[in-house]
Amino acid sequence: MVENIHLAFEGIWSHKLRSVLTMLGIIIGIAAIITIVSTIKGTNEQIKENLIGAGNNVVTIELNQNGNQYDLSWNPLPDQVRVITEDTRKELEQIPGAEQASLYYKRSYSDGLFFRDTAFNGNLIGVDQNYFSVYGMQVRSGRGFTEKDYSQYRKVALVDSTAAESLFNGVDPVGQCLEFGTEVFTVVGIIGPREEFTPTINSFNDYYLYANDGSGTVYFPSSVWPTLYQFDEPQSAAIKVRNTDVMASVGKDAADLLTSSQIIGTDTGFDYRSADMLEQAQQLQNMSKSTNTQLVWIASISLLVGGIGVMNIMLVSVTERTSEIGLKKALGAKKKRILLQFLTEAAVLTSIGGVIGVLTGVGLAELISRVMQIPVAISAPAILIAVVFSTLIGVIFGLLPATQAANLNPIDALRRV
């Protein structure tokens, strides 16, 4: 085999121009495919990043009834659903791929929270001590919630920067009081994501999809949530996962776990479902994929044409080397050996073409990303597949010439000199 590869390189080297021209079809095909795949992957990764945010691999599991999210802002307290215990939370963290789990209460519509005479109409969230760590948020000014805030049921609150703007109208929120019914809460700090993430917006569609609107969020320690809403409510769970690839599986496992442990009775219509952004991202990605798949097909035609070119040149090569083949057969070379020699030569030829094609494709993709501002991500598996595929093309299209060479009659082959 090593002998064959060596021979193949020698053969290719001795006909440089011809070899390059033969490889051209393969080079163009592979380069086109690599470029297209890189662009697809770049676009997809941008979509994913926009939806998921920078590095926040969080999947949330919420209570649903008959397939709709069960929001306590409008719905009564569900009898058949238990409060999630600390033990269950720890079980959630045991799910493979899960790193940290947090339980929280949420109202997406808040009735009755005021700063002076301004009503707040954003989200209210009652958080446990893991919540900010799960979401990767940190205190921007003032302080966060402490152990004692929870144990002593202190009436304190944190606001995010959006709420700080919409509710406080330029007043520094830290130290201010919020009223909820007859209760008064002190704002102890402003909290926000560790890294400010701005989605890349290229179109109006992107804007509607990614831009955060609304009036922001006010956070309370979960221990005082019953002070706001009187009852022990079933919580939602937020789970930080190792990476985006396991989001779906962790989400499903966690939802199953909560559904089986929290719902009392059957046929209640209640279940827990994961709401991760990934699914949404995937739908968008599928759209961009389908258009690009067609491009890949077109590029494949170039590969086919390249393959036929290889076959053509190999046939010429067999004719040219008839006496060499004849001699080898006379000296005792079996069919398989001759077949392998020519197959190897074809495969080496197309593999070199494939490698050059990959390099060209990567270069082209980089160029496109610079010039047209399109995100590009080079995909390692795609490169590997491309090279393997180009080798395969050599084997497939080399088969006919190689068989012809192997079946040459040694007398005819020797006579033709």
Partner 1 sequence: MRILKLTDICKDYMQGKEPVRVLKNINLEVEQGDYIAIMGPSGSGKSTLMNIIGCLDVPTSGEYELNGNNLRNLKDDDLADMRNKYIGFVFQSFYLMPKMEAVDNVALPLLYADVPLKERRQRAEEALKAVGLEERIHFLPNQMSGGQCQRVAIARAMVTKPALLLADEPTGALDTKSGKQVMDIFDDLSDSGMTILMITHDPDIARRAKKVYHILDGELLTNQEGGTGRE
Contact residues for partner 1, defined by CB under 8 A: 3, 10, 14, 323-324, 327-337, 410-411, 414, 417
Angle between helices 86-94 and 247-262 (to 10 degrees): 150
Q: Do the beta carbons of residue 376 and residue 365 sit within 8 Å?
A: yes
Distance from C-alpha of 64 to C-alpha of 299, rounded to nearest angstrom? 46
Q: Dmax of the chain from CA atoms?
A: 110
Q: How far is the CB of 3 from partner 1 (least distance, A)?
A: 7
Q: How far is the CB of 332 from partner 1 (least distance, A)?
A: 2
Q: Do the beta carbons of residue 394 and residue 309 sit within 8 Å?
A: no
Q: How far is the CB of 333 from partner 1 (least distance, A)?
A: 5
236, β-bridge pairs: 104
DSSP element (H, E) containing 243? none
What b/e sequence results for 46-80 when a residue is b if at least 16 CB atoms lie within 10 Å of its CB, and e otherwise?
bbbbbbbbeebbbbbbbbbbeeeebebeeeeebee
Residue whose CB is less far from partner 1, 119 or 411: 411
Residue whose CB is less far from partner 1, 28 or 349: 349
Q: Which of 50, 102, 125, 44 is nearest to 277 (CA)?
A: 50
Q: Do the beta carbons of residue 207 and residue 155 sit within 8 Å?
A: no
Q: How far is the CB of 344 from partner 1 (least distance, A)?
A: 15
Q: How far is the CB of 326 from partner 1 (least distance, A)?
A: 8
What b/e sequence results for 402-416 when a residue is b if at least 16 CB atoms lie within 10 Å of its CB, and e otherwise?
bebbbebeeeebbee
75: which residues sit within 8 A by CB, 6+ positions away? Answer: 65
Residue whose CB is less far from partner 1, 16 or 336: 336
Residue whose CB is less far from partner 1, 82 or 335: 335
Q: How far is the CB of 327 from partner 1 (least distance, A)?
A: 5
Q: How far is the CB of 307 from partner 1 (least distance, A)?
A: 27
Residue whose CB is less far from partner 1, 6 or 242: 6
Q: Do the beta carbons of residue 122 and residue 163 sit within 8 Å?
A: yes
